[in-house]
Structures are given as structure tokens and as C-alpha cells.
Amino acid sequence: MGITQILFWFLTILALVAAIGVISSKNPIYSVLWLIVVFFAISGHYILMNAQFLAIVNIIVYAGAIMVLFLFVIMLMNLNAEAEPVKNVYMKMAGIISGLTLMIVLVAALSHSDVQNTIIRPGTSIGLIKNLGKALFNQYVVPFEISSVLFLSAMIGAIMLGKKDPVKKISL
Amino acid sequence: MHLNHIFLLIDWALFIEKLVLIIVVVMGSLLVAMYSTYAERKVAAFMQDRVGPNRAGPFGILQPVADGVKLFFKEEIVPNFSSKFLFILGPCLAMLTAMMIGAVIPWGDKIHLFGRDISLQIADVNIGILYVFGIVSLGVYGIMIGGWASNNKFSLLGAMRAASQIVSYELAMGISLIALLMITGTLSLNEMVVQQKDHWWNIFKQPLGFLIFLICAFAETNRTPFDLPEAENELIGGYHAEYSSMKLGFYLFSEYINMFLSGAVMATLYFGGYDIPFVNDANLVHNIGVNWLAILEGTVFFIKICCFIFLFMWVRWTVPRFRYDQLMNLGWKILLPLALFNMLVTGALILLKQNHWHF
């Protein structure tokens, strides 16, 4: 077992433990903090695959911005165990059954999938920023630009929804 | 058997060299932070026509030691009804994220010891500046977690202010950086310094970008005029209102370390890093050797950082604190459009240069 494999197993176990922590902690603040640990573990995996740019962008965008806003909202809402609505047993049973069904579907889908083309072999350098930029702006420039337009419209939409009804100007 | 194999694979000389470098950088930043508190009080005294601390030791230079000892001996209080783990995690995270930036800053070129060339940068990753940016965006967690775990309304308000302020100013900071990256064409901090050694410093190519970056650095380090998270006359101290003893010390200390390292980042990005101005380095190596040059470069870099630390203090004692709406207006309505404008102009000029100044 080389150092890469040790790191891989360490990061994998960390990611799984943290992911279980996200859904099992009672306090939503702890859930958010566990989720941040998950993002860090995934970034570690990206670095193992030599995708440094992806790793750091994952940290900047998810851990650094989105989770801060999550934490912000949850802290302001002041959720706690008493405010949690009690769910009845049937709902829980339905949840378990549907979750298991989803798992079976996923396992069935993955067992037939072709693994060979999807794995990035260690040693390739497509994850480095130079190669990634060239690929994005030459080969995939149309989807890249279209997705940026999509983001822009999503941002404008969020601002429009966030604004209250415009105050009618009183003409003097 | 397997374990043996792994230990043989590790380059022990590299390991020890990096370990020593890490210890030196961490200890160095702590020492600088310690004496920044002293410098701050002396600068404040100078600005307000006072004497400043002068009791402990000659010129009061033992004052930071006395302050540190005082903080260690204070009673540690963890408020009831607060989450103890998060309450302790807050200052730890603030300290950790402050320290981590030092890993990618090139403190000098290289020294030659025991037959090895030792680079004076802990990690020359090829995403250097993005790493700094990522760590800066994580810096808010220490404040937010500490403020929430205090279970105090004023602390929570301070934490909220810190979060919204840092998220808002990150945008303008990132866009002003993009303009710089378009010119340098690299993300590695060491390569940026090497480029500036032979050509003009980046400040001459990106004056507006530097100004935006500087203002954002003030906001990100929570220094006056952007120190709303700890505005004492509104929030009784803000996010660290409930903290005492060395946990409070960690918060105060992390601010000074942030100041030191953001000075280092700005000096690296815009003021040539460890480059000695008006001197041809190649000639100097011939005359005094690699090691002395590295020491000289380190000293010059340190002087540049000290200038920035002085600037931080100078602004603190001259500019009053912003109001919250003024802060947000400045960030979103002035700095962000200005940074976008700067990026557009930079892009247009680069394109023109590629066309040999023909439209």
C-alpha cells in the first residue's frame, strides 16, 4: 500500500463518516459543519487525482461561500430540537422503503455501467488549470458559454424574486 | 514489511527541511503578531500625541510578553447554554486559517545548505493565489462558529456582520485578482515574483486593481474602517464578547497574523515580493553568494510587509468606522463595478498589445 492509497482510504473513510454525521446530527449547525468536512474530503480526492484547480474551486465555492450562507441562514432561524416537528411512524417507514428502493436502482445501474472510460487515471494532468482552461475554451466553449448565461439568468432571477413589490412613486 | 517500504520512499531530507521551514514561518508569524500589538499601541500613541507603553523593559518592548502572560493567567469562562465544543473550536479555527496562508508565500529565493538547494517557500503549488483565496474565504468560520456558540445576541450579530462582510468583499477581491492574473498568466506566487524581478512591479500595471485589493484586504481582516463585527459601542465587542483568557487572545492574535500575511500577499502580488528594487540580482549573487542574497531578499520582503502593517495601523487611527449600509454600498455598488471595469480595460489592453496596438 503506497502513500497515495493510504491517503485515499483515509479520505474515503473521512468522507463517509462525515456524510453520516450530516444526516444523523440533531442540531442543523452540526450538520452544516459535517458537510464542510465532506467537501474537504472530496477536495482531497481531487488532489489525489491531480485536479488541483477543481479541488481549490470546490473549497472556495462550496466550503467558502455556499456553506457560509447555509450557516448564516440556519443561525438566524435558530432551529433547535424542540421546534422540530414530530413525524409519525408511517412517514418514517415510507421514507425507509423509498430510500432502499433508490439504493437498489442505483446499485443496479452502476453494476452494468462501463467503468473503464469514467475513471481518471492518476498521472493525467487534465485537472491542472492550464489544460482545463484550454479544454473548456476550445473543445467545450459552447456549453461553457451557455452555462454562464444560465448562471446569469439565475442570479438576476434571484434578485427579482428577492425584491419586494416596487414602491409606487408618488408624483408630486 | 509494507510500512518499512513506505518509510524508505519518503525523502527524509526534504521532510526535515520543510518541517524546519514550517516551524520557522509559524514562529515568525507569531512573533511578528506579538510585536504588532506593541507597534499598534506605539503608533496609536504617536498619532494621539501620547507616550504609549513604556514601563515593561526599555521602551516597553517587553509589553507584549506581559500582555501574553496576563491573558494566560486570566480565568477561563465558558458560558452556560453554549455548545462547549464549538465555543473552543471557534478561536482554534480563526488561528488555523490565519496561519495557513503562510504556506504558499515565497519568503526568499533559495539558500544553499549541506549541498542542497532549499527553496524558501513551503509549498510552490501551481494554484498558489487560489489557495490564498480559498483560505481567506474559510477565515469567516472561526468568527461565525465562535459568535454562534457564545449564545449571546450581540455575538451572533457580530458573527452575521462578519459573514456578510467577508462574502461581499470576496467578490471584488477575486475580480481584481483576475485582472492581475490576466497580466501575469500564472497562479504560482513564486513565478509572479520572478516575473516582477526582471520587469516592472505589478503595481505599475494594475494601480486600480491594487487599490481595490487593498480595500478588500482591510475588510477581510476586519480592520478599521471595516471592523463592524467587533464594533464595541454597538455590540459590546461583537463575536468575542463572551470570550476570556487565551481564547480571546487567539481571536485578537489571529487578526494580527492576518494583517501580517495579507501584507505579505500584497507585497508578493503587487510590490515584487522578495525582489530588491534597483539592484540586478545576477550581479549580486556573484559578489555575495546565494545565502547572503537570500537573507538580504528576506529582509527587503520583511520591510515591505512592515510598511503594509504600518499602513493598516495608520488607517485605523485616522479613518472612522463605516456604517453598515455604507459598507454594503461600498462593496456592491462601487468596488464590484470598479473591479469589473478594471478587468475589462485590462483585457482590452492585452488584446491590443497582441495585435501590436492596431485595432
Q: What is the mean pLDDT of chain B?
A: 83
Q: Do A72 and B144 touch (CB under 8 A)?
A: yes
Q: Which A residues in the span 36-75 are in contact with B, Cβ-Cβ below 8 Å?
A: 36, 52-53, 56-57, 59-60, 63-65, 68-69, 71-72, 75
Contacts of B254 (CB under 8 A, 6+ apart): B91, B94, B95, B97, B98, B142
DSSP strand pairing (B110-113 vs B116-119): antiparallel
What are the residues whose beta carbons fall under 8 Å from the beta carbon of B215, sequence distance 6 or more? B169, B172, B330, B335
pLDDT digits 0-9 by tens, B203-234: 888 888 899 999 999 888 888 788 777 776 77
Eight-class DSSP state of B230: G
Is residue B356 left, alpha or beta, with left meaning phi > 0 and alpha meaning psi from -120 to 50? left
Of A2, A29, A60, the CB nearest to B137: A60
Q: Does B164 contact chain A (CB < 8 Å)? A: yes
pLDDT at A143 (0 to 100):
92
Judge whether A18 lies within some domain.
yes
Q: Nearest CA of chain A to the CA of B137: how many Å?
A: 5
- A154 vs A21, A67, A72, B174, B264, CA distance in Å? 31, 19, 21, 20, 37
Whether B167 and A69 lie within 8 Å, measured CB to CB: yes
- Return the domain boundaries, chain B: 2-354
Does A31 lie at the interface with B, CB-CB under 8 angstroms? no
The answer to whether residues A63 and A134 belong to one domain is no
Question: B34 and B254 in contact (C-beta within 8 Å)?
Answer: no
Distance from B127 to chain A by nearest Cα, in Å? 7
- Shortest CA distance to B253 belongs to which of B110, B98, B42? B98
List, as ranges, residues 121-160 from A with C-beta within 8 Å of B: 128-129
> Do A13 and A70 lie in a common domain?
yes
Mutate to test the interface with A, among B6, B7, B127, B175 (most CBs of A within 10 A): B127
Listed residue (B297, B262, B293, B316) closest to B29, CA to CA: B262
How much is the pLDDT for B1? 43
Higher per-residue confidence, B232 vs B261: B261
Please state, in angstroms and rounded to a whole number, the distance separating the CA atoms of residues B336 and B328: 11
**Is B137 in contact with A63 (Cβ distance < 8 A)?**
yes
**For the residues B170-198, what does the mean pLDDT come to?**
86
Q: For A73, name the nearest residue in chain B, comparing CA atoms only.
A: B160
DSSP codes joined into one string, A62-107: IIIIIHHHHHHHHHHHT--GGGSPPPPHHHHHHHHHHHHHHHHHHH
Contact B198, B279 (CB under 8 A): no
Residue A81's pLDDT is what? 58
| Within-domain flag for A108 | no
- Please indicate if any CB of chain A lies within 8 Å of the CB of B156: yes
* pLDDT of A172 higher than 80: no
- Summarize pLDDT for A133-144 with one digit per residue, the tens: 888 888 889 999
Q: Are residues A78 and A8 in the same domain?
A: yes
Domain assignment of residue A153, given as a range: 126-162
Closest Cα of chain A to B149: distance in Å? 10
Q: How far, in Å, are A115, A123, A134 from residue A119 at the CA level?
A: 7, 12, 21
In a domain, A28, yes or no: yes
Q: ∠ CA A99-A13-A103 to the nearest 5 degrees?
A: 15
Nearest CB neighbour to A29, from listed B9, B148, B170: B148
> Rounded CA gap, A99 and A84, in Å?
21
CA atoms of A1 and B308, how far apart (whole Å): 48
Q: Cell digits for A1?
A: 500500500
Residue A131 included in any domain? yes
- Closest A-chain CA to B142: A68
Residues 6+ apart with CB under 8 A from A97: none
Q: B92 CB near a chain A CB, below 8 Å?
A: no
Categorize the per-residue pLDDT at A146 as very low, low, confident or very high, splitting at 50, 70 and 90.
Answer: very high
Going by the DSSP 8-state scheme, the letter that residue B110 receives in this structure is E
CA atoms within 13 A on the CB side of B9: 10
Domain count along chain A: 2
Residue at A136 is within a domain: yes
The predicted-structure confidence for A40-76, as pLDDT tens digits, reads as follows 999 998 888 878 888 888 888 888 888 888 888 888 7
Judged by DSSP in three states, B117 sits in strand
CB spacing of A129 vs B126 below 8 angstroms: yes
Is B1 in CB contact (< 8 Å) with chain A?
no
Is A39 among the domain residues? yes
Asked if A59 and B134 come within 8 Å (Cβ–Cβ), the reply is yes
Q: Is the confidence at residue A32, as pLDDT, over 50?
A: yes
Backbone angles phi, psi at B320, to 5 degrees: -75, 165
Last residue of one domain, picked from the residues A82, A110, A134 = A82
Measured in angstroms, the CA of A2 and the nearest CA of chain B are apart by 7
Whether A57 maps to a domain, the answer reads yes
Q: Which of B2, B125, B145 sits opposite A1 (nearest CB)?
A: B2
Residue range B33-46: mean pLDDT, rounded:
87
Could you report the predicted ipTM of this complex, rounded to two decimals? Answer: 0.80
Q: Which pTM does this prediction carry?
A: 0.84
In a domain, A156, yes or no: yes
Q: What tens digit of pLDDT does each residue of A107-131 get?
A: 988 887 666 555 555 556 666 778 8
